[in-house]
Structure 1
Amino acid sequence: MQTGLDPSADSFDSAVMDDEQPPARMVAGALAHLARHMETGCPRASRLAILLLAKVANDVQADAHLREHARELVDVLERDHADIH
């Protein structure tokens, strides 16, 4: 998945790239970005939400139910992002 993000852009972007975050924190961050995207249409917020949700979806430590729903939301957001561009 290519997002074109610069991980050094700000401190939160660096946290997005940190694999040590627990799934609950990544989901909380994804929801915050998703809310920003829904309110403003910001494509960067959508890409950040996708990054975080993809990490949750691939985290074997996360609950299987949570991983499944994270994958579904990534698919929806990627389709939405593709429709815009």
Structure 2
Amino acid sequence: MNEDIYAVNLYVSGRVQGVGFRFYTVRVAKRFGITGWVRNLYDGRVEIYAEGRKPNVQGFIEEIKVGPPSAHVSNVVEHWKKIPKHHFGDFSITF
């Protein structure tokens, strides 16, 4: 069975830099089978590009909205699209 793959760009605001947020994101992505990347932005936000089956991506986002104990997520902006295939084989921190 061929399942649809979705990609989402997330822009996460709040206290999300210098608190282990990117490492937390990698752990959550691996647990949900998500591929893509996470990086800090110069304006203090974190950007995430995530690919996977829609229910997996939705579960991933719910945990991202919580964040690790040392973080405080105040806002998450989501930009979704359906894609024909995965573009990444794993999930990593990028710069």
Q: Which category of TM-score, normalised to the shorter sequence, fits these structures?
A: 0.3 to 0.5
* TM-score between the two structures when normalised by the length of structure 1: 0.34
Question: TM-score, with normalisation over the residues of structure 2?
Answer: 0.32
- Higher share in helix: 1
Higher relative contact order (CA 8 A, sep 6+): 2
